[in-house]
Amino acid sequence: MADPVAVLGEMGNRIAHRGPDDRGEWWSSALKVGLSHRRLSILDVTQAGHQPMVSWCGNWVIAFNGEVYNFEQLRSEVSARVQVPWRGHSDTEVILECIADEGFERAIARFSGMFSLVALDIRNRHLWLATDHAGKKPLYFGWLGKHFVFASELKAIRAVGTPLDIDRASVALFMRYGYIPAPHTIYRTIRKMTQGSCAHLDLSCCSIGQPLQTTAYWSIVDVAKRGSTMPGSERPSPTVIEGVLEAAVRRRLVADVPVGAFLSGGIDSSVVSALMARNSTGRISTFSIGFKDRKLDESKYASSVAAHLGTDHTSCMVSDSEMVNVIPNLPWMYDEPFADSSQIPTYLVSRLAHSRVKVALSGDGGDELFGGYTRYSEAIRVWHGLQKVPYPARRLATLLLKQVSPAIAAADSGLGLSRRLSHRFIKAALHSPDGISELVSCRAFQDLYRRMMSSWSTSPLLQIPSESVHQDPLSDIGLNVEEVGLESWMMAADFQTYLPGDILVKVDRASMVESLEVRCPLLDQEIVSFAWSLDMKHRINGRKLKVALHDLARKLLPREVIDRPKMGFGVPLARLLRGPLREWMLDSLSRARIADAGLLDANKVTSCVAHLLSGRDEEQSRVWTALMLSEWYRATVTNERHGSR
């Protein structure tokens, strides 16, 4: 590496959107280690918060992304033991001195917040990396030739200039789930930190290419196990939730810049906004977007909540053209294939909020903690139904379905029966008997849930060697489903996989590209522990979801926003793909483009596109997943092949 400081500067430039307020590079010629940082100034906007930051003792240097909300308590504790000449009041300085005082592993377990950080112990020549308990802030790392690299986004790692090979096994996971779960990435030699973990590299004795061993300092599995074994007499009352949530919201209001809130009109964001309004000195700013499609539009509920709370509300009705205009930027924004189509409205509401505030609170995490996904009750009903039929009989049904599937699919194509039915598994049986046969043959509940979470359950990839296949993240989350129950297992699985791999990635990239920090009170460690200590009937009770949160909402919100079906935060994807995006879709998924990438089976993909164009909305997620892979490949691999970025 000819000029490491210049490379560090370019790596920082690639992610300048994450921190446009300040920049810094630190390089040690003796250790041949450097850090680069781009700062979004939230706490202590003066130069006292400049990074990379060196500790008072001179032995530690840190590059830190995020917020640690208990920094004031930590500062008091450090001050009681060490006479630190504090330079300012940033949380960065506090956690750095906490690390210098207690050591990295002991200190990191005490940080409550959202963060990714890298710290160098100069004296002992140890490089440490860590992410927060939920995995909210990203951290990528790996070997590029002789160099060990790390960054908040892959585009910074690509700035090093070393060619990167696509990991085809990661592509397989992406096509199934619509995201690439940690620790894997789209590249073979690059990994991402899993939630609640830390790792270190001994610079004195490490060899080039040496794998980095990670250690979990926090685990949702441990939290779930503790909750499942808690005696009924020790379980807290669901009425306590108000105080626990309010404390978490207050912690996230500490900032030296304006703070607002995303307000979708759903229970989670509305409760957060209500508690925020109660604890703010003036009117809070709330933001929402709406759609002309009534099936997707929640803006009227958001406006109702805003009026009830007296917030300074900004709402924007999004047009098709505005959504379409976002799509070309998605590959650059997300850096690796990512196919949750709600990435589009998430970006648009982030852009809207950025015009008024620098920090926004959101309701993310409520579904995974308090049981808010309709698939939870649906999975339990389907599993109980399957259990009534002996497995040998279900296996025979699977074989029969596979034999008659072409005839069933052809009949459905002609008669359109699946479009007239509401139950999605019956629809799936008619237009995709192979998929329903896979469902019927599930031997374990984990297999059923994996099938329900899958976009492409039957992989559309070209053949990959069996030894290269990654373990499916839902095959073993470290929790016995019989021990904790179906509901707890699903929520723990989602917290460990879907939340950090999809939801938090979506929010982080969409907001940070607009230099907006999003804080999630519902992901506070105290709330996570509280949720798992509740009796299950206060989370999921039959078909009633998020029972405890709904009870709290009835105290804080208008009734019309509470007793209504869950809508989600989606876009009219099928309509757009058959309309203004049709030609783009056909070009992106043409046989020539698919062949150029050499990753997907063109027959399977073009068949899926044809089904979507014929009116089968159920194909939209599969088509979108293939599109996001194709567009990422063109924007990243093809452009690099031709010397452009």
SS3 sequence of 487-529? HHHHHHHHHHHHHHHHHHHHHHHHHHCCCCEEECHHHCHHHHH
d(CA 515, CA 333): 12
d(CA 63, CA 45): 16
CB 150 within 8 A of CB 127: no
What is the percentage of the chain residues whose pLDDT exceeds 90?
Answer: 77
d(CA 123, CA 455): 49
Cα torsion 322, 328, 333, 334: sign: positive
Q: Identify which of 43, 135, 52 has the alpha carbon closest to the alpha carbon of residue 517.
A: 43
Query: Residue 232: its pLDDT value, please?
Result: 83
Query: Residue 645: its pLDDT value, please?
Result: 46
Query: Residue 96: its pLDDT value, please?
Result: 98
Contacts of residue 349, defined as CB under 8 A and 6 or more positions apart, other chains included, come to: 262, 287, 288, 289
d(CA 233, CA 535): 11
Query: Residue 423: its pLDDT value, please?
Result: 46
| Domain boundaries for CATH 3.40.50.620 within the chain | 221-372+493-561
- Three-state SS across 261-305? EECCCCHHHHHHHHHHHHCCCCCCEEEEEEECCCCCCCHHHHHHH
- HSE value, Cβ hemisphere, 13 Å, CA-based, for 609: 24
Amino acid 551 reads D
Contacts of residue 107, defined as CB under 8 A and 6 or more positions apart, other chains included, come to: 95, 98, 99, 101
d(CA 444, CA 552): 35
Superfamily of structural domain 221-372+493-561: HUPs (3.40.50.620)
SS3 call for 6:
helix
**CA-atom Rg of the chain in angstroms:** 25
d(CA 274, CA 253): 13
Amino acid 274 reads A
d(CA 1, CA 453): 43
| Domain boundaries for CATH 3.60.20.10 within the chain | 4-218
d(CA 185, CA 380): 32
Listed as ranges, residues in the chain with pLDDT below 50 are 415, 417, 420-423, 644-645
Contacts of residue 517, defined as CB under 8 A and 6 or more positions apart, other chains included, come to: 40, 42, 67, 358, 359, 360, 511
For helices 504-512 and 343-354, the axis angle rounded to 10 degrees is 40
Edge to edge, what strands does the sheet with 259-262 contain? 312-318, 285-291, 259-262, 359-361, 517-519
Give, as one character, the DSSP assignment of residue 470.
P
SS3 call for 26:
strand
d(CA 528, CA 522): 8
Q: Identify which of 500, 490, 496 has the alpha carbon closest to the alpha carbon of residue 446.
A: 490
Q: Return the bridge partners of 291, or none.
A: 318
Going by DSSP bridges, is the β-strand pair 285-291/259-262 parallel, antiparallel, or unpaired?
parallel
CB 299 within 8 A of CB 265: yes
Cα torsion 404, 410, 415, 421: sign: positive
Query: Residue 462: its pLDDT value, please?
Result: 83
Residue with tokens 């359950």: 457
Contacts of residue 207, defined as CB under 8 A and 6 or more positions apart, other chains included, come to: none
Q: Return the bridge partners of 64, or none.
A: 117
Residue with tokens 């980095």: 212
Contacts of residue 271, defined as CB under 8 A and 6 or more positions apart, other chains included, come to: 245, 363, 366, 549, 552, 553, 556, 557
Q: Summarize pLDDT for 464-494 with one digit per residue, the tens.
A: 766 568 999 999 999 999 999 999 999 999 9
d(CA 40, CA 9): 16
d(CA 573, CA 102): 51
Query: Residue 262: its pLDDT value, please?
Result: 97
Query: Residue 1: its pLDDT value, please?
Result: 60
Contacts of residue 232, defined as CB under 8 A and 6 or more positions apart, other chains included, come to: 535
Residue with tokens 């280690």: 33
Domain 4-218 has CATH 3.60.20.10: yes
